[in-house]
Structure formats: structure tokens, C-alpha cells
């Protein structure tokens, strides 16, 4: 079992309801819990199926050097990148600034 944090933005109520089944919503769109790897994978399947136009980041405790791992789903300027085994975040260009 490992600590899991899920942060949602502009997701459908149906997804928020599904997350609330397994995790505690401590703020609007912010969920935490202590779940197994299998449950984390099941939650991520639901996220991918129901995210629509919103976006989600999921982070969990791990044995990596940083002490955690994360993955994202949906449109967001923050893009995870692997840098020699370390997960970092890169910002994509703002489409409004390019106009």
C-alpha cells in the first residue's frame, strides 16, 4: 500500500464520483488515499476513460530517488519528462502567447 494523491481540473462529475469511491476528497478536485498498486491502476483506467476535456495528475509514494512517481492525463501545459531516470515537469508553450 502506498499514499496516492489525485488532482483533477474540469473533469465530469461522474469521474469525481468514481474517485470518491476509493479516495477521500479533501478539497474540491483533490483526492488522497492509501491504496495498493492494483487499485491505483484501476483508478487510472477510470481516469483515462472519463477525463473528457479536463486533466488529471496522479502521484504516489515509491522507491525512486525522488520518493514519488506521477503521471498525467488530459490537456495541460505541464508535461512529465524523464531525465536520466528522474521525473521532471516541462512547460509546453502557451498557445495564447504564440498568437
Boundaries of every domain in the chain: 2-91
Four-point Cα dihedral 94, 81, 89, 55, nearest 10:
70
Q: Burial, 85: exposed, middle or buried (Cβ in 10 Å; 0-12, 13-18, 19+)? A: exposed
Q: At residue 31, does pLDDT exceed 70? A: yes
2-91 has which fold?
Alpha-Beta Plaits (3.30.70)
**72 touches 48 (CB < 8 A):** no
Residue 64, SS3 per DSSP: coil
**50 touches 12 (CB < 8 A):** yes
Whole-structure pTM over 0.85, yes or no?
yes
| pLDDT tens digits, one per residue of 67-82 | 899 999 998 878 888 8
| pLDDT tens digits, one per residue of 43-68 | 999 999 999 999 999 999 998 888 89
Amino acid at each position: 500500500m502506498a499514499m496516492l494523491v489525485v488532482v483533477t481540473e474540469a473533469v465530469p462529475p461522474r469521474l469525481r464520483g468514481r474517485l470518491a469511491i476509493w479516495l477521500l476528497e479533501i478539497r474540491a478536485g483533490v483526492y488522497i488515499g492509501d491504496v495498493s498498486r492494483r487499485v491505483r491502476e484501476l483508478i487510472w483506467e477510470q481516469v483515462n476513460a472519463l477525463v473528457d476535456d479536463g486533466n488529471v495528475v496522479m502521484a504516489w509514494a515509491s522507491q525512486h530517488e525522488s520518493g514519488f512517481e506521477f503521471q498525467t492525463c488530459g490537456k495541460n501545459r505541464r508535461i512529465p519528462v524523464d531525465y536520466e531516470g528522474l521525473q521532471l515537469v516541462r512547460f509546453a508553450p502557451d498557445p495564447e502567447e504564440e498568437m
